[in-house]
Amino acid sequence: MEELIGYVEPYRRILLVGCNECVTVCAAGGRKEVGLLSSALQTAFMKTGKVLEVKEVTLERQCDPEYVEELVSQIDGVDAVLSMACGCGVQEVARRFKDKPVFPAVNTSFMGASERQGIWVERCQGCGDCLLGITGGVCPIARCSKRLLNGPCGGSTGGKCEINPEIDCAWHLIWEKMKALGMEKNYEQIVPAKDWRTNRDGGPRKIVREDLAL
């Protein structure tokens, strides 16, 4: 809250924008969270004798330009925007409205999957060169702490990672899945050095579907 208050403190009218997609599922930035944050910010300002006017909006998605256009009719009446979307959504809003400061209300951590209620775990790093077809559907890039491509390190013990006993060893999971499938021979295949040019190391990435691009 201190960080968010610091962002909006210089302003008196802000647009607080939520998202109906990922952050709603994570209970981090949907319509309910927009209302809660709006109340918290206004209360914090009232305690200092100031008034903060908050306009609340929840879009379907903030990462798509067509949905962000819905903010056009409301943007002129505010001094700044506080977005509860992921980093992609925050940047899209900032790109569209260049004359307004746009601040993030959440910290985007990773692409994950729901393990159980209230718990999400990293499953993919978007490396652009998927190995799941040869590793039994378990990603060694996202799930191995050392991103090893040909079996576990020497620190793996009892199916757990050496950096944290609560983390499953990815290569143990891969082996168990291959055994279950009767594909143990695949485990012996040497995975060649990975082509990291498709990873983030090559700079910001772009995907173009020629059949869809205008």
Domain ranges of the chain: 2-104, 127-192
Q: Domain spanning 2-104: which superfamily?
A: Response regulator (3.40.50.2300)
At residue 164, the 3 state secondary structure works out as strand
CA torsion, ordered 185, 186, 188, 192, to nearest 10 deg: 160
Q: What is the pLDDT of residue 205?
A: 67
Q: What whole-number percentage of the chain has pLDDT above 70?
A: 97
> What residues contact 117, with CB distance under 8 A and at least 6 apart?
none
What is the distance between the alpha carbons of residues 211 and 9, in angstroms, rounded to a whole number? Answer: 46
> What residues contact 31, with CB distance under 8 A and at least 6 apart?
18, 20, 24, 58
Rounded to the nearest integer, the mean pLDDT of the chain is 90
What is the distance between the alpha carbons of residues 65 and 75, in angstroms, rounded to a whole number? Answer: 15
Interval 1-37: pLDDT, tens:
999 999 999 999 999 999 998 889 888 999 999 999 9
Token pair 């409205």 in the structure block, residue: 97
Which range is most confident: 82-91, 106-115, 197-206?
82-91
Extract the tokens encoding 135. Answer: 């590793």
